[in-house]
Every structure is written in structure tokens, then in C-alpha cells.
Structure 1
Amino acid sequence: MNNDMLPLILIVDDNEEILEFLERIFSNKYAVLKALDGKEAIQILQTEAVQLVISDVMMPVMDGFELCKIIKSNFEYSHIPVILLTAKNTIQSKVEGLELGADAYIEKPFSKEHLLAQIASLLTNRNMIRDYFASSPLVHIKSMAHSKADEHFLELLNDTICANIEDTDLDVEKLAKIMNMSRITLYRKIKAISVLTPIELINITRLKKAAELLAEGDHKIYEISYMVGFSSQSNFARNFQKQFNITPTEYMHSKQLDKKKNFY
């Protein structure tokens, strides 16, 4: 597989032999970047679209705990899963790592099979959550959040799109301006959390709002298509079926049947 297609992992450790050992383990499945301390890792995160960080805890300049804290509290990086590696196997240090938002805490010496399984699990779970959000009409965007910072961002993003949903020309430029963010920062953050482009996410948000209105049953389908910013009913119906594998009419009928069942 082309290296550009592989998930990008950042390994952080002040021991160069360990960095090389880990790089050899990962090289078949992942593209790898390396840093010798937390400060160097932050510099890499500023320029590279890293999908997962594996960091030693005990390091000079900036240790793994501080690095984890910065990643999980910073808007631009808070979506990135962090695995902490440490020789400190006390419950207290493990609790400290998890309280700072670490997604996993692995004690040294570790088995490479365990580490590889943990990485695969974190990346696969996130992909499953993203797919579930995109294919399920009533699942909220917040379901993709993996931190408080992400949750706040996704809520704000959803509210902003919904407040401007009738604007058929809503795009990343307009969205970024309304949210008081740079277009590049907004694009990167949306892409990192959802694997969708902003336009794709706007489109899905329109369709999810439509699903909500269809489920309520108070409007005709052609009315809903314009209410959520589609220029024509046929374009709306095509998009809805492609996204959720059901036509708006079928979806509306299924929700009405559910209501009748619940009523009786």
C-alpha cells in the first residue's frame, strides 16, 4: 500500500533505540513519524495530520503526561488518540494518565502484539463510529466526539449549520467566517474527526435535519427539501437515498408506522 494511504502515527520517546524498534514494528501497517520529547511532538502535530500518538511518560523537556494534557485540551489536536507507555506501573500513575485523557496506558515491558492490537482497536472503533454517524439518520454529530473539546466543537458546528441550513450556498468559507475560524483550521478539524470534507458534512447535516422533520410528519417532502437547503425535491430525494439507503417517502412511512405501534 502507498505510504500516503497508511494511517499516520507519531511515536515519542527519548530513547532512539526504542523509537527504531517501534518504527520497525509499525512500518508494515502505518506511516511513522518520530519525536524525542513532547515539545518536538507538538511541533510535528502543528504540520502533520497525525492519527494516533504513542508516547513514553518519562522524558526530558516535556514528559508524556504534559504532552497528553496539551493534546487533549487543544482544539486542533483533541481528537487524536493517545497511548501512554511507561515503566511506572503504579495505579496512581495509570490513573493520572487516564485522567489527562489518555486513551490507553500500557506498561513496559509490553508485547508488540498487545500494542498493535490496541492501536488497531482505537483506529477501528473510531472508523466504526464515523460510519455509524454517517449512515444513521437520527444519530447526532456529537457521537463522534472523543473529548470534551471535540464535543463542544461538534455541537457548535452542528448548531451553526442548522441555523444557516436554508442557505443553499453554505460552504466552508461561509461556515468558517460565521464560526470565526480560518478556513484551513476548520477544514482540517472536520476532516480529522469525521473523515468528511466540510461540504460532505454540511450535506449530511442537511439530510439528518430532513430525517428529523420527516419523522415528525408535519410537513410534505417537497417542503422539507427546501427547508433544509436543497434546490429541488428530486436532488434531495437522490441524496437522502444515497446516504441512508432508503427513500424519504419510505422513511416517513416507516416512522409513521412506528408511531402507530407505540400508540397502540
Structure 2
Amino acid sequence: MQPSILLVDDEEEILEFLERILRVKYAVCKAENGKEALAILSTEAIQLVVSDVMMPEMDGFELCKAIKGNFEFSHIPVILLTAKNTMQAKIEGLELGADAYIEKPFSKEHLLAQMASLISNRSMIREYFASSPLIHMKSMAYSKADEQFLELLNETIDKNLDDPALDVEKLAKILNITRITLYRKIKATTNLSPVELITITRLKKAASLLLQGDLRVYEVADMVGFSSQSNFARSFHKQFGMSPTDYLQTKQSETKL
């Protein structure tokens, strides 16, 4: 599927121009000011925002601040487009959390490269987290708000790992947010479903427990909420490309070097 992006500009000609050059690679949504953009963000799964700065109702700086300060949207990268080429304007945009700042007039190639870089870099970081046994969940954060959310989420899952029935409903209740909001935030931030993220967190905890060296595989499997050692071993191998025993032997060999 094409990544969904949101274009924000009060000039219709510029919106049409941007849509024309971007629709080949992206599913495009459009808004004419910051307020319209926020309304779209609340209903659509947007992966990147490209916004002009000078707009009525709510300008690009205000929009960026609103996105980065909102629990549901803070993970979304923002590119600001502006004719303001002063250093102060650039600093203001970046201080508000903008991920990139592009001056007008800009080349199509530059914009496309910046967009592709932001989206692909986040995908690579998510993949690295999922495949690396000891990498913390907060490594996927791109804002302070996301870091705090992922730390709290990891801590909450970790405290309830021995519950084999832990799911998004229980997590939402513990965190005191709606199930739908939590599902959307987890999916948008990690590109994983809550079930997948819970499973990976179980397996990562298992990896750290195995390294302690004083627990058997079946004990670790039980401690992180797996119903059987065989199910645990299959899941571990599927996620990290090696069995729990092989993982432990590999780490022990690395320590001796």
C-alpha cells in the first residue's frame, strides 16, 4: 500500500502541484490550513505531513506544535515548506519539532528525497527493534512525547508479562485510555499491532532473562507468559532467527572473546 501523506497549503494551485508530483508514490490527503489538517489527522492514518508555514486560521508553525504536542499525532513526521529563508524561521520550525525545513522555491527531487528518507528511516528503525533481542522499545521514538509513551507502554507490558491473556483491552484499561486510541497509537508508532508488540516484548524480556544464566528455557517461557516451551521456542526463532539455546550460546561465546 502507498504511504498516506497530508498536504497543507492555503493556495489551491500549490496543493494541486504537490498532489500531481506526489500521487504516484503516495496516497494524498489535502487541507487548506492547520485546523483542517488536524481534523483530517483525527480520522485518517497519516504517515507524513507536508505543510506551508504562512496560512490563515492556523499557520504551519502552530500546526507543527499541535501535532508534536498531541498524544495521537506526535509520531508523525512534519516537513515545513516556506518562503521564509531566515535562520530564525528555520530555528523556530525545528524547535517546534519539525523533522525537515525546505525553502521555497524547492526542487521536486529534493522534496521527494526528503519524504522518502523520513519514511524509510523510520521503517528501518522499527525493523531493527523487532529483530534485535535487546533493543528497547523507546528506540522507535521520534519525539519526547513518543519516548515517554513507549517507556510507559514497555513498563506496563513488562509488569504483566506473566498474564498469558494480556491484550490491548487490558493494556488500555491499565493505561486509562480507549482501546481504539491505544491501538491506533501503537500501530502508528511501531507499525505493529498490539498483539505483535506484546509478543515481541515477551520475547525480548525472555532474551534478557536467558542471559542471567541461572534459568532454564522452560522457566523463562513460563515467566514471560508462554503456555509451553515449544511454543516459546518457535516464537523466539521466528522473531530473532535462532532458538533460545542458540541465542544463549552465541552471547556466551561473544562474552568470552
Q: Which TM-score applies when normalising by structure 2? A: 0.99
Residue deviations 1:161-215 (CA, integer Å, cap 9, x gap): 0000000000110111011110000000000011110000000000000001112
Q: Secondary structure at the match of 2:7?
A: strand
| Aligned position for 1:116 | 112
| Aligned position for 1:212 | 208
Q: Which TM-score applies when normalising by structure 1? A: 0.97
| Aligned position for 2:62 | 66
Superposition deviation, residue 30 in structure 1: 0.2
| Aligned position for 1:54 | 50
1:169 aligns with 2:165: yes
Superposition deviation, residue 259 in structure 1: 2.6
How many residue pairs are counted as aligned between the two chains? Answer: 257
2:44 maps to amino acid: E
Superposition deviation, residue 218 in structure 1: 1.8
Q: Secondary structure at the match of 2:211?
A: helix
| Aligned position for 2:195 | 199
1:117 maps to amino acid: A
1:8 aligns with 2:7: no
Q: Is the 8 A contact 1:217 1:256 kept in 2?
A: no
| Aligned position for 2:179 | 183
Distance 2:63 2:254 in 1: 49
Among 236, 253, 256, the alignment partner of 1:257 is: 253
Superposition deviation, residue 260 in structure 1: 2.6
What is the aligned-residue identity percentage? 73
1:198 maps to amino acid: P
Q: Is the 8 A contact 1:12 1:35 kept in 2?
A: yes
2:128 maps to amino acid: Y
Among 244, 252, 260, the alignment partner of 2:240 is: 244
TM-align CA RMSD:
0.6
| Aligned position for 1:19 | 15
Distance 2:121 2:154 in 1: 22
Q: Which runs of 5+ in 2 are unaligned?
A: none
1:199 maps to amino acid: V
Superposition deviation, residue 257 in structure 1: 1.9
Distance 1:197 1:167 in 2: 18
Distance 1:249 1:226 in 2: 16
Select between 122-131 and 212-221 the one with higher mean Cα deviation: 212-221
Distance 1:204 1:217 in 2: 21
Distance 1:76 1:27 in 2: 25
Distance 1:203 1:69 in 2: 34
Q: Is the 8 A contact 1:12 1:36 kept in 2?
A: yes
Distance 2:144 2:214 in 1: 35
| Aligned position for 1:149 | 145
Q: Secondary structure at the match of 1:196?
A: coil
Residue deviations 1:119-141 (CA, integer Å, cap 9, x gap): 00000000000000000000000
2:209 maps to amino acid: L
1:86 aligns with 2:82: yes
| Aligned position for 2:33 | 37
Distance 1:17 1:144 in 2: 36
2:213 maps to amino acid: G
Distance 1:128 1:258 in 2: 25
2:11 maps to amino acid: N
Q: Which runs of 5+ in 1 are unaligned?
A: none
Superposition deviation, residue 258 in structure 1: 2.4
| Aligned position for 1:100 | 96
Distance 1:181 1:55 in 2: 30
1:28 aligns with 2:24: yes
Among 124, 129, 151, the alignment partner of 2:125 is: 129
